[in-house]
Amino acid sequence: MGGYEEEREKLDRLRTEGRFDTLPKRLRHMSEQRPGTVAMRKKALGIWNEYTWADCYERVKCIGLGLTALGLERGDKVCIVGDNDPEWFWAELAVQSAGGVAIGIYIDSVPSEIEYIA
C-alpha cells in the first residue's frame, strides 16, 4: 500500500474516532503535524502572503480567546461580514472553537438584508 493510501486510511480512522469531527480540531491537528507547511495564500497589492498551518491555528486561537473574553458563550450567533479571504476563515473557525455559531454575510449585502439575517 502506498503512502497516500496509508495516510488516507489513518485519517479515516481518526475521523471515525471523532478526533476530527470539527474543522477547528482538524486545524489543530494540522498545526501539530505540519506546522511549517503553507496552508493558505493571499495576494495583497500584488504580493503573495503565505500562512502556515501554525500561523492559522494561532490566529484562530487568539480570535477565539478574544471572543470568549468579550462574553461569547456556547450557542451564541456571530455574523461575519467580509471578503472571501484568510481572515474570514479564521473568524469562522474561531467562532466555532468558542462554541458559537458563525453566520456568513456577503460584504455587498444591503443593510436590510443584514438586519434580516442577523
In CATH, what number is assigned to the domain containing residue 108? 3.40.50.980
In three-state form (DSSP H/G/I as H, E/B as E, the rest C), the secondary structure along 66-105 is HHHHCCCCCCCEEEEECCCCHHHHHHHHHHHHCCCEEEEE
Q: Is residue 7 included in any domain, yes or no?
A: no
Q: Is residue 78 included in any domain, yes or no?
A: yes
* pLDDT above 70: percentage of residues in the chain: 89
- What's the chain's Rg over C-alpha atoms? 17
Domain of 43, in residue numbers: 22-117
**Structural domain tally of the chain?**
1
Q: Is residue 11 included in any domain, yes or no?
A: no
Q: What is the pLDDT of residue 7?
A: 73
pTM: 0.80
Q: Is residue 105 included in any domain, yes or no?
A: yes
Q: Is residue 15 included in any domain, yes or no?
A: no
Q: Is residue 94 included in any domain, yes or no?
A: yes
Give 9's pLDDT tier (boundaries 50, 70, 90): confident
Q: Is residue 2 included in any domain, yes or no?
A: no
Q: Is residue 5 included in any domain, yes or no?
A: no
